[in-house]
Amino acid sequence: MATRPMTDKDAANEAFRQEVRQFLADHFPPELKGKGNPMAGVESDLRETEAQKRWRAAMGSKGWGTPTWPAAYGGGGLSRGQAAILNEELARAGAYNPIGGMGVMMFGPTLLEYGNEQQKQEHIPPICRGEIRWCQGYSEPNAGSDLANLQTTAEDKGDHYLVNGQKTWTSGGQWADKCFCLVRTDRSDKHKGISFLLIDMKAPGVEVRPIRMISGLSPFCETFFTDVKVPKENLVGREGEGWTIGKRLLQHERTNLSGGGSMARMMGPRLSDLAKKYRETDADGALADKVLRDRIADFEIRWGAFLLTARRATEESKAQGGVSEISSVLKKLGTKLGQERAELTIEIMGLQGLGWEGEGFSDAELSGVRAWLFGKATTIYGGSTEIQSNIIAKRVLGMLDHQ
Amino acid sequence: MAVLSEEQEMLRNMAREWVANESPVAKFRAVRAGGEPRAYDPAAYATMAQMGWTGVIIPEAFGGYDFGWLSAGMIVEELGKTVTASPLVATTLAAAAIVLGGSDEQKARWLPQLASGAVIGTLAIDEGPHHNPRTLATTVAGGALTGTKAFVHEAHDATLFVVAAADGLYLVEGAEGTVDVATRHLADMRSHAQVTFSGAAAQKLEHGGDDLLDKVLDRARILTACEMLGMAQQVFDTTLGYLKQRVQFNQVLSSFQALQHRMADLFGDLAMMRSAVEGGLQALDSGVMVPQAAALAKAEANRVLHTISREGVQLHGGIGMTDEYDIGFYLKRARVLEASWGTTSFLKDRFATLSGY
Ligand SMILES: Cc1cc2nc3c(=O)[nH]c(=O)nc-3n(C[C@H](O)[C@H](O)[C@H](O)COP(=O)(O)OP(=O)(O)OC[C@H]3O[C@@H](n4cnc5c(N)ncnc54)[C@H](O)[C@@H]3O)c2cc1C
């Protein structure tokens, strides 16, 4: 491309880049270089070192962990262009974004859209500072894919709601401060009887019981509500608007689950590099097992096409504004490919890749097993693959409901 | 769909309208019924040239428009939607070879005529039924080229051949006696021929580096993938439309979940194919990682069009088996294009090699 004269915008971007570099030089603890965000997942307690705490506080006070959220609520107030520069500079410095979790991924964007002024003032700034952890109270024993069948009730008691019922599969429920919940405020209408309520996990009457998963960890819980008093100002939107708001939140969840957030964290080194480490190579450095080589190439080509699809969706949604129903397509594709990748990883490593604990295995091998198992959840939660297919067929392709 | 500039959007809309109004599948039926070995309508090609489509990737200095590969690819995609027969892809690829590897004289001699549509060009690379550019028996001695090229696309009306010999790419003009074109009827009913060069006068393309052939083939892979994308999109849309109106068991077929999920799967595949193909075009325009992007684009195009063309026939039931219904055209053309410039196994091997494993 021909060189063109520097515009005012270029100059402003350059100044911003310098500001970010200075900030990183002043605040990013070098010992954290290359580390991941402990707050990104909900699978564990937040065990931060002092350095990690300092880094979270520094980014939080700038609002740069949530760079494009409005500054009025503690966000960074950055343009998309500036946010991109920030990301580039973080990556260059080997620094992670220390702010994350369900508050950032799904609840915050939804509250910014549907919450009232007081709710935004109250709940968004602590998310931006990474001080409050949120969990999701949607699923119940009899309301999984058929989420609208939920039975947890919130009874209007004048100045408060009285909540009774059981949620399940509540990820991070044992570590969360608050829960965004779908509750029933009206039994006469399946969908319009649902409301979106914010519940304090420390409130009397809330009890959590961790559930052990096939990966051996217990990252999720059963959550019981027994006569829990919830102030009325914790209702988001109007009574009966919960289904609309709740579905919107799921779009944000899917966008995050598909490629960016959790899948990316499960990504280790390139499969071909792993295979070269664990398997024989020819004199010319190619993998000796040609069948495996072909399967890796087959996977990497489709994975490449998926990454291009995620990029295209981002560009298109920027051009059109907002998350789109393409989030279902991305979630369906990304989770399937992520699982395929995990299976190939295990296969490449052989029995060395199935170590459960103890001696004889590297950390990467041990965590790979857990990630492989946990990864099975990705096609179940956030709306299972089958449910995404229903959504794509009906909403995107306009195929009719069964009559 | 990639985010387009205003100019690109205009070009795309123009192509879309022309194809829909002036070049429906019925036109291809008429060409087929005519039985001419050239298998396209010269009047239609002349119109394409008038609209500037033959000059999209040719620099302005040589009579083209220099709109870039994304623009060229979008036009070819639209043509693929109605299986429009024309030597546009072949000519664009011949022009690309000259843009990349030609001397100033060669450019001045050929590019303006390719851009105006006066000359039809094509690539003559492979020597057997499999794409295999590594083993070529064609040789050149004292400016005379000798060899046999198999299944050359659009050879019947081509007057300029870009021929791969063991030591590089050559320009050869069609001439009686030294260039013989023997028709090969393939299932797609398009122009294919075995071309025999017997001491034909040849001029080498000296520029563009040692990997000129690979560069040209990368462009062939990506542009062919664009035609395949248009075809896949059309088969998908037609099938979806059919499922929405066909009634069995007192309900439209589109209300059956088994069929909904198959369409949702294909929709995801189609999204990946579109991203891969557009990614290839963008790589060409930016010059970044072209070989990988080309292998990825065509491998995805092969995979997805293969699946969609099979499912398209299956989901139509009996009517999909009839010659009167269009879907069979896409199935037959699909296999020809899948085998051209790299089957899936060839492309996976190339991708792995390029990625260092
Ligand atoms: C690790 C993990 C973390 C989770 N975290 C949370 C959380 O934090 N908060 C929360 O609220 N929930 C959470 N969930 C719950 C999750 O959202 C549900 O598991 C999910 O909605 C599926 O519901 P279900 O388990 O009841 O399965 P079911 O709905 O009983 O589904 C069983 C099977 O039937 C299929 N199926 C169901 N309906 C249809 C249909 N109409 N057509 C075709 N196939 C169908 C499903 O795809 C699935 O394969 C989590 C789940 C997991 C595994």
Burial class for A367, CB neighbours closer than 10 Å (0-12, 13-18, 19+): middle
* Sequence-distant (≥ 6) Cβ neighbours of residue B257 within 8 angstroms: A390, A393, A402
B105 φ, ψ (degrees, to nearest 5): -65, -45
Q: Is the model's pLDDT at A264 over the cut of 80?
A: no
Residue corresponding to tokens 């008691």: A157
Integer Cα distance of A211 and B286 in angstroms? 51
User: Would residue B100 count as lying in a domain?
Assistant: no
Give the binding-site residues of ligand 1, using a 6 Å CB cut-off: A 135-139, 144-145, 169-171, 220, 377, 380-381, 384, 386-387, 390
Verify that B180 and B162 share a domain, yes or no. yes
Integer Cα distance of A22 and A6 in angstroms? 22
| A residues 328-367 lying closer than 8 A (beta carbon) to B | 329, 332-333
Helix (H) or strand (E) holding A179: strand A178-184
Percentage above 70 pLDDT, chain A: 93
Verify that B186 and B224 share a domain, yes or no. no
**CATH code, domain with B50:** 1.10.540.10
The string of pLDDT tens digits covering residues B195-232 is: 999 999 999 999 999 999 999 999 999 999 999 999 99
Of A297, A308, A398, the CB nearest to B348: A297
Q: Pick from B204, B238, B253: which residue ends a domain?
A: B204
Integer Cα distance of A201 and A203 in angstroms? 6
Q: Is the model's pLDDT at A391 over the cut of 70?
A: yes
Q: Is the model's pLDDT at A400 over the cut of 90?
A: no
- Tell me whether residues B260 and A389 touch, CB distance under 8 A: yes
Q: Is the model's pLDDT at A259 over the cut of 60?
A: no
User: Would residue B286 count as lying in a domain?
Assistant: yes
What pLDDT does residue B318 have? 97
Closest CA to A372 of A263, A272, A246: A263
Chain A residues closer than 8 Å to B252 by CB? 400
Buried b (16+ CB within 10 A) or exposed e, B139-178: ebeeeebbbbbbbbbbbbbbebbbbbbeebbbbbbbeeeb
What pLDDT does residue A218 have? 86
- Tell me whether residues A309 and B244 touch, CB distance under 8 A: no
Chain B residues closer than 8 Å to A276 by CB? 357
Buried b (16+ CB within 10 A) or exposed e, A189-210: eeebbbbbbbbbbeeeebebee
Q: Is the model's pLDDT at B286 over the cut of 60?
A: yes
Q: Which residues of chain A does CATH 1.10.540 include?
A: 29-128
- The band of B3, judged by pLDDT with boundaries at 50, 70 and 90, is confident
What pLDDT does residue A265 have? 45
The string of pLDDT tens digits covering residues B85-111 is: 999 999 999 999 999 999 999 999 999
Percentage above 90 pLDDT, chain B: 97
Mean pLDDT of chain B, nearest integer: 97
Which fold would CATH assign to domain A259-396? Butyryl-CoA Dehydrogenase, subunit A; domain 3 (1.20.140)
Q: Is the model's pLDDT at A60 over the cut of 90?
A: yes
Q: Is the dihedral of CA B180, B183, B188, B190 positive or negative?
A: positive
Verify that B198 and B226 share a domain, yes or no. no
Q: Which residues of chain A does CATH 1.20.140.10 include?
A: 259-396
Verify that B10 and B72 share a domain, yes or no. yes
A12 φ, ψ (degrees, to nearest 5): -65, -40
- The band of A403, judged by pLDDT with boundaries at 50, 70 and 90, is very low
Verify that B341 and B242 share a domain, yes or no. yes
Q: Is the model's pLDDT at A262 over the cut of 90?
A: no
What pLDDT does residue A254 have? 81
Verify that B147 and B42 share a domain, yes or no. no
Closest CA to B83 of B293, B281, B262, B238: B238
> Nearest 10 degrees: CA dihedral of A376, A381, A382, A385?
60
- The band of A267, judged by pLDDT with boundaries at 50, 70 and 90, is low
Verify that B227 and B313 share a domain, yes or no. yes
Using the mean position of ligand 1's atoms as its centre, give its distance from the Cα of residue A110 in Å.
21
User: Would residue B96 count as lying in a domain?
Assistant: no
Closest CA to ligand 1's atom 29 = A145
User: Would residue B217 count as lying in a domain?
Assistant: yes
Question: E strands within A100-171?
Answer: 134-137, 153-156, 160-171
Verify that B216 and B349 share a domain, yes or no. yes
pTM, two decimals, is 0.91
Q: Pick from B65, B89, B113: which residue ends a domain?
A: B89
CA distances from B280 to A196, B2, B73, B299 (A): 45, 12, 10, 11
- The band of A260, judged by pLDDT with boundaries at 50, 70 and 90, is very low
Chain B residues closer than 8 Å to A311 by CB? 275
The string of pLDDT tens digits covering residues B11-33 is: 999 999 999 999 999 999 999 99
- The band of A2, judged by pLDDT with boundaries at 50, 70 and 90, is very low
Integer Cα distance of A394 and A254 in angstroms? 17
Q: Average pLDDT in the A278-302 region?
A: 96
Closest CA to ligand 1's atom 37 = A145
A131 is an active site residue: no
What pLDDT does residue A261 have? 41
Q: Which two tokens stand for residue B137?
A: 């028996």
User: Would residue B56 count as lying in a domain?
Assistant: yes
What does the DSSP assignment read for B203-259? EE---S-TTHHHHHHHHHHHHHHHHHHHHHHHHHHHHHHHHHH-EETTEEGGG-HHH
Buried b (16+ CB within 10 A) or exposed e, B279-307: bbbbbbbeeeebbbbbbbbbbbbbbbbbb
Here the ipTM equals 0.95
Q: Pick from B89, B112, B143: which residue ends a domain?
A: B89
Q: Is the model's pLDDT at A372 over the cut of 70?
A: yes
Cβ pair B341, B221 in contact under 8 A: yes
SS (H, E, C) A68-101: CCCHHHCCCCCCHHHHHHHHHHHHHHCCCCCCCC
The string of pLDDT tens digits covering residues A139-168 is: 999 999 999 999 999 999 999 999 999 999
B222: domain range? 212-354
**CATH code, domain with B166:** 2.40.110.10
Provide, for chain B, the percentages of residues in helix, strand and coil under a 3-state DSSP scheme, each rounded to the nearest 5. Answer: 55, 15, 30
Say yes or no: A326 contacts chain B, CB-CB below 8 A: yes
Mean pLDDT of chain A, nearest integer: 91
User: Would residue B114 count as lying in a domain?
Assistant: no
User: Would residue B330 count as lying in a domain?
Assistant: yes
Residue corresponding to tokens 């096939």: A214
Helix (H) or strand (E) holding A316: helix A290-320
Verify that B150 and B82 share a domain, yes or no. no
DSSP state of A28: -
Go through chain A and tell me how many residues it has.
Answer: 403
- Tell me whether residues B254 and A399 touch, CB distance under 8 A: yes
Integer Cα distance of B252 and A209 in angstroms? 47
What pLDDT does residue A30 have? 94
Helix (H) or strand (E) holding B173: strand B168-173
CA distances from A178 to A86, A137, A199, A267 (A): 29, 10, 6, 29
Chain B residues closer than 8 Å to A337 by CB? none
Structural domain A29-128, CATH architecture:
Orthogonal Bundle (1.10)
Q: Which residues of chain A does CATH 2.40.110.10 include?
A: 134-241
- The band of A323, judged by pLDDT with boundaries at 50, 70 and 90, is low
Name the catalytic one among A207, A253, A315, A347: A253
Say yes or no: A283 contacts chain B, CB-CB below 8 A: no
The string of pLDDT tens digits covering residues B145-200 is: 999 999 999 999 999 999 999 999 999 999 899 999 999 999 999 999 999 999 99
User: Would residue B107 count as lying in a domain?
Assistant: no
Q: Count the Cβ atoms, other than its own, within 10 Å of residue A10.
A: 11
Verify that B162 and B241 share a domain, yes or no. no
**CATH code, domain with B229:** 1.20.140.10
Domain A134-241 has CATH 2.40.110.10: yes
Verify that B319 and B263 share a domain, yes or no. yes
Total tally of structural domains belonging to chain B: 3
The string of pLDDT tens digits covering residues B291-348 is: 999 999 999 999 999 999 999 999 999 999 999 999 999 999 999 999 999 999 999 9
A224 φ, ψ (degrees, to nearest 5): -110, 135
Verify that B60 and B128 share a domain, yes or no. no
